[in-house]
């Protein structure tokens, strides 16, 4: 019922006689902004036939997530965090989805490579595994740790992640 309107009783009668059978789609908002599609799939429709089979919708308006190995970074350093201050013995840890779970790493300082090695994640691709190792006896200063997959094709660095940290 409209009470604060100049239409008065006429407006109430008109609005009351309207048939509100038009289906209303719920309005989806992200950060307060209305959206009509997610990841290329219009809301209220199924995914297009050009989308990968693993991304097809199961019901109108449903968007199915792709497998983690298709959308996440293949190598992540999760510890230490960027610009962390650490002790002279530091745990380097991360996640990876790489061939045979092998992650190559380099410890760098002042533009040079101080140490290099490799570590195996607890599972290999396409699954996502956890890996870690400890660097002991680091002198005070700034360091960078790089973790990556080495290409089996040509030995190049692929899927690089790096973090800088300071030893106090």
- CATH 2.60.40.10 in the chain: give the residue spans: 70-167
The per-residue pLDDT for range 80-125, each reduced to its tens digit, is 999 999 999 999 999 999 999 999 999 999 999 999 999 999 999 9
What is the structure's pLDDT at 116?
97
Q: For all residues of the chain together, what is the average pLDDT?
A: 80
> Is residue 125 within 8 Å of residue 69, measured between CB atoms?
yes
Mean pLDDT of 138-142: 98
The per-residue pLDDT for range 21-48, each reduced to its tens digit, is 444 555 678 888 888 877 777 776 544 4
In degrees and rounded to multiples of 5, residue 96 shows phi and psi of: -155, 150
Enter the tokens of residue 111: 């533009």
Domain formed by 70-167, architecture: Sandwich (2.60)
**pTM tops 0.75, yes or no:** no
Residue 143's alpha-carbon distances to 105, 130, 158, in angstroms, are: 13, 22, 21
- Alpha-carbon distance 142 to 100, whole Å? 31
More confident residue, 60 or 155: 155
């Amino acid at each position: 019922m409209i009470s604060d309107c100049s239409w008065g009783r006429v407006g109430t009668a008109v609005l009351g006689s309207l048939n509100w059978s038009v289906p209303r789609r719920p309005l989806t908002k992200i950060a307060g902004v209305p959206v009509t599609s997610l990841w290329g799939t219009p809301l209220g429709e199924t995914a297009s036939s050009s989308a990968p089979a693993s991304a097809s919708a199961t019901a109108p308006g449903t968007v199915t997530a792709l497998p983690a190995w298709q959308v996440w970074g293949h190598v992540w350093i999760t510890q230490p965090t960027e610009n962390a201050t650490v002790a002279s013995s530091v745990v380097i840890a991360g996640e990876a989805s790489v061939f045979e779970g092998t992650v190559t790493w380099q410890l760098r300082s002042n533009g040079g490579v101080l140490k290099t090695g490799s570590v195996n994640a607890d599972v290999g691709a396409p699954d996502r595994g956890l890996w870690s190792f400890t660097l002991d006896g680091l002198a005070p200063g700034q360091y960078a740790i790089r973790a990556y997959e080495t290409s089996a094709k040509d030995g190049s660095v692929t899927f690089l992640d790096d973090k800088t940290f300071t030893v106090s």
